[in-house]
């Protein structure tokens, strides 16, 4: 079992400077270079930069891997070592994972999002591991005075084939560390993999079941206090006054004071209660008497949001994102066409681990610990906000109990630092479930105007307009560009076969905090775009998969559709069974889903089966892929049929899981996940399984009942 350790800056620098007592390899991107090169610790002084030490092998043969991304359940803690162990030829149990501190200079982007960890680094990790292996083989061959071709690596040893002699990696690191890494190394073909593409059990699972894994709430510091914050429930509201008399009488409460946070250009007011335990802080907050000033701004209502969306879509063309051909002219002349609106709701991230953060503000440095999706962003934000040099802001990652984009937001870390500065010591700030649900940020609700024309049973034009809050505007005053995710989820091969297409973004501004949510805009776009293609297939009198096959002419799409038909027995489906389909793409991965529904004995619609086919190209662990797709479908089912965030008079109406319900195990149908086998570049895994579910489900419901659903969420009990 691997051990996850936190590493101090001092120990990190000490470890990475152990050239001569360990083999340390990392990446280096010279000025004006087009790609990274591999460099050893011995060369760092000459190169004049701080070493990043992605792989370190000590004299005991133990391998330390620096993980620059967060582990929030998506499986990188397993997948990255699985890659390393394959090419390095070591046992997984001999790899120790160290979470990197925030440092974009060393590690590049550290944001865990966009399903980017494996697809963005797997080629470099394979090469890095193979380089270390070859350096160890060279060191052994030199010691034995034999050709390197007579040697091979296996289970942390170099073996001499003719004689059977072998040396442990630990015995070779001193000599290997003095070698120059080879410029090129030969990687294994997929057919030779012993670990990659195998369903190995996750190495973090035992740690998470026996209590060894350190999550944010588990971390403790000497002298640390605890805090909760009573925040204005209306984002733009101000604090008028507060009475802390009763709060200060609660045993354990130490201090009460006002705090202000900058959240996407808006100042958020709150009252902090600091105590010697989280429980005491929460009880003290309950005893507060707070008066808010909510005057001078509109108090938003959900119905008004969507009315505005519809008016904008009817009256404005919006900002053009992509256009080819003349869709407007074709639509105007068409006699067989569709013109409909789709709508998707606001959603909470609601990760199972509540938000929390430890901060220790000191005159000469600021240090942070917690479940953080973007340590490099946090480092930069805290440096700027508190006027502290970047290298004096130390951001330490713990395990995350889910993130989905929420824990890449910068409000909760900044707030913890502000509170620590005020009290003059370390503090852990904890958000309750109510805080999380009622403060956001949220996945923005989005409305879509879809128009399409059929001419001689051919799709002759498509036109999509979207209206919803734009994450691109977060911290950006330029409103002249369309949402860069306007066409997200729409498969690129369609542009090669459909002559007239346009996508545009109708700007919609709303002072509600919004942030990435699993699969980002693909989760809302996918519902609209794929639902519309299903409706157009019906208008053309064609089977939904046959309709897509006609316009997705590339080899990978054709193979995926064939697989969908095969696993779901699509061509032999029967009456009184509703079947629906959808195919979406995001983060380099295409996923097709088939959903089957029927009526139970009470006449209610039930989901019988979901078949998911994922083409993510090169991949690591099929069990992790299946788990991520299944988890995505659970999340998609909740967002489509069970929960939404709604606003009334400027207040969020949901508070906790009693009124923001989650799918239960009894709600879940059997799910089959199939992975396409090919050698294409790796795509994402953690998010692409979500977008196709809702459109496939509503298509299946239409097939069974004749009811067309264009607005989410809907109640399965009411169909």
Q: How far is residue 407's CA from residue 354's CA, in Å, rounded to a whole number? A: 10
Same structural domain for residues 242 and 165?
Answer: no
pLDDT of 576 above 70: yes
Is-contact 552 493, C-beta < 8 A? yes
Q: Is 240 helix (H, G, I), strand (E, B) or coil?
A: strand
pLDDT tens profile 590-610: 999 999 999 999 999 999 999
Residue 417 lies in a domain: yes
Q: How far is residue 348's CA from residue 221's CA, in Å, rounded to a whole number? A: 31
Same structural domain for residues 666 and 682?
Answer: yes
Same structural domain for residues 447 and 530?
Answer: yes
Same structural domain for residues 567 and 612?
Answer: yes
Same structural domain for residues 363 and 452?
Answer: no
> Alpha-carbon torsion 675, 678, 680, 682, what sign?
positive
Q: How far is residue 146's CA from residue 43's CA, in Å, rounded to a whole number? A: 27
pLDDT of 29 above 80: no
Q: How far is residue 247's CA from residue 252's CA, in Å, rounded to a whole number? A: 10
**Which residue bears the tokens 């090419």?**
87
Same structural domain for residues 291 and 244?
Answer: yes
pLDDT of residue 182: 95
Alpha carbon of 23 to those of 53, 56, 103, 172, 308: distances in Å? 9, 6, 22, 9, 61
Q: What's the token pair of residue 650?
A: 């400027």
H-type helices in 387-489, by residue range?
A: 411-423, 433-439
Residue 212 lies in a domain: no
- Domain of 53: which CATH number? 3.30.365.10
Read off the pLDDT band of 43 (50, 70, 90): low
Is-contact 319 464, C-beta < 8 A? no
Same structural domain for residues 203 and 274?
Answer: no
Q: How far is residue 633's CA from residue 629's CA, in Å, rounded to a whole number? A: 6
The residue ranking higher by pLDDT, 115 or 575, is 115
Strand-pair category, 95-99 with 4-5: parallel
Longest Cα–Cα distance of the chain, Å, equals 85
Burial of 266 (0-12, 13-18, 19+ CB in 10 A): middle
Same structural domain for residues 641 and 707?
Answer: yes
Tally the domains of the chain: 3
Q: What's the token pair of residue 13?
A: 């620098």
pLDDT of residue 283: 98
Domain boundary, last residue among 418, 439, 460: 439
Residue 662 lies in a domain: yes
Read off the pLDDT band of 13 (50, 70, 90): very low
Domain boundary, last residue among 406, 439, 472: 439
Q: What's the token pair of residue 531?
A: 């639902």
Across the chain, what does the average pLDDT equal?
Answer: 93
Q: What's the token pair of residue 427?
A: 């503090």
pLDDT tens profile 416-436: 999 999 999 999 999 999 999
Q: How far is residue 235's CA from residue 568's CA, in Å, rounded to a whole number? A: 47
Residue 23 lies in a domain: yes
pLDDT of 551 above 70: yes
**Which residue bears the tokens 């799409």?**
557
Q: What's the token pair of residue 158?
A: 């170099």
CA 67 from chain centre, in angstroms, equals: 16
Residue 512 lies in a domain: yes
Same structural domain for residues 233 and 106?
Answer: no
Same structural domain for residues 374 and 447?
Answer: no
| Residue-number span of the structural domain to which 325 is assigned | 302-346+443-718
pLDDT of residue 6: 46
Same structural domain for residues 361 and 480?
Answer: no
Q: What's the token pair of residue 375?
A: 């340590």
Q: How far is residue 695's CA from residue 610's CA, in Å, rounded to a whole number? A: 12
Overall size of the chain counted in residues: 719
Domain boundary, last residue among 178, 207, 236: 207
Residue 213 lies in a domain: no
Strand-pair category, 605-615 with 589-599: antiparallel
Same structural domain for residues 565 and 580?
Answer: yes
């Amino acid at each position: 079992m691997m051990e996850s350790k936190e590493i101090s800056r001092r120990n990190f620098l000490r470890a990475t400077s152990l050239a001569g007592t360990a083999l340390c390899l990392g990446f280096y991107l010279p000025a004006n270079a087009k790609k990274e090169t591999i460099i050893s610790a011995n060369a760092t002084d000459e190169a004049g930069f701080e070493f990043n030490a992605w792989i370190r092998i000590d004299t005991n043969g133990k391998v330390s891997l620096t993980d620059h991304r967060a582990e929030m359940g998506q499986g990188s803690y397993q997948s990255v070592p699985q890659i390393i162990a394959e090419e390095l030829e070591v046992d997984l149990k001999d790899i120790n994972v160290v979470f990197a501190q925030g440092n974009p200079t060393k590690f590049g982007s550290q944001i865990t999002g966009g399903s980017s960890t494996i697809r963005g680094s797997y080629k470099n990790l394979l090469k890095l591991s193979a380089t270390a292996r070859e350096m160890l083989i060279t060191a052994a061959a030199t010691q034995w005075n034999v050709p390197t071709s007579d040697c091979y690596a296996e289970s942390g040893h170099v073996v001499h084939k003719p004689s059977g002699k072998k040396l442990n990696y630990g015995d070779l690191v001193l000599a290997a560390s003095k070698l120059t890494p080879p410029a090129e190394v030969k990687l294994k073909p997929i057919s030779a993999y012993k670990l990659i593409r195998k369903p190995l059990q996750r190495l973090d699972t035992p740690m998470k079941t026996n209590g060894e894994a350190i999550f944010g709430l588990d971390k403790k510091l000497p002298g640390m206090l605890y805090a909760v914050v009573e925040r204005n429930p209306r984002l733009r509201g101000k604090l008028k006054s507060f009475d802390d008399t009763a709060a200060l009488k609660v045993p354990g409460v130490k201090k009460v004071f006002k705090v202000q946070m900058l959240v996407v250009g808006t100042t958020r007011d709150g009252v902090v209660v600091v105590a010697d335990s989280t429980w005491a802080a929460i009880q003290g907050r309950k005893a507060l008497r707070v008066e808010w000033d909510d005057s001078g701004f509109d108090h938003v209502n959900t119905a008004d949001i969507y009315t505005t969306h519809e008016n904008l879509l009817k009256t404005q063309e919006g900002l053009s994102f992509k256009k080819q051909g003349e869709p407007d002219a074709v639509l105007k002349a068409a006699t067989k066409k569709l013109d409909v609106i789709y709508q998707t709701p606001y959603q909470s991230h609601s990760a199972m681990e509540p938000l929390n953060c430890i901060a220790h503000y000191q005159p000469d440095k600021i240090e942070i610990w917690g479940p953080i999706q973007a340590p490099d962003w946090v480092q930069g934000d805290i440096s700027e906000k508190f006027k502290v040099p970047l290298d004096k802001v130390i951001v330490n990652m713990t395990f995350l109990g889910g993130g989905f984009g929420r824990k890449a937001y910068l409000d909760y870390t900044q707030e913890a630092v502000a509170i620590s500065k005020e009290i003059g010591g370390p503090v852990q700030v904890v958000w309750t479930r109510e805080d999380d649900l009622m403060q956001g940020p949220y996945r923005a609700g989005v409305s879509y105007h879809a128009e399409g024309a059929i001419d001689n049973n051919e799709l002759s034009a498509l036109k999509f307009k979207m209206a919803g809050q734009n994450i691109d505007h977060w911290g950006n005053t330029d409103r002249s560009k369309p949402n860069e995710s306007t066409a997200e989820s729409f498969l690129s091969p369609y542009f090669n076969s459909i002559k007239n297409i346009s996508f545009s973004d109708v700007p919609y501004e709303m002072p509600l905090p919004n942030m990435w949510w699993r699969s980002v805009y693909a989760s809302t776009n996918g519902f609209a775009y794929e639902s519309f293609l299903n409706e157009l297939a019906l208008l053309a009198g064609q089977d939904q998969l046959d309709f897509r096959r006609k316009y997705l002419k590339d080899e990978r799409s054709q193979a995926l559709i064939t697989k969908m038909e095969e696993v779901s027995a699509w061509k032999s489906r029967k009456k009184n069974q509703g079947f629906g389909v959808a195919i979406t793409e995001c983060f380099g991965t295409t996923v097709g889903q088939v959903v089957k529904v029927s009526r139970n004995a009470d006449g209610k619609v039930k989901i019988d089966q979901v078949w998911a086919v994922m083409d993510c190209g090169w991949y690591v662990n099929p069990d992790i892929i299946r788990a991520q797709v299944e988890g995505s479908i659970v999340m998609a089912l909740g967002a489509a049929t069970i929960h939404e965030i709604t606003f009334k008079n400027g207040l969020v109406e949901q508070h906790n899981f009693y009124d923001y319900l989650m799918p239960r195990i009894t709600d879940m149908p059997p799910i089959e996940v199939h992975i396409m086998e090919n050698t294409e570049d790796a795509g994402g895994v953690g998010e692409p399984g979500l977008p196709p579910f809702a459109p496939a489900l509503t298509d299946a419901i239409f097939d069974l009942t004749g009811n067309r659903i264009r607005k989410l969420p809907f109640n399965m009990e009411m169909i």
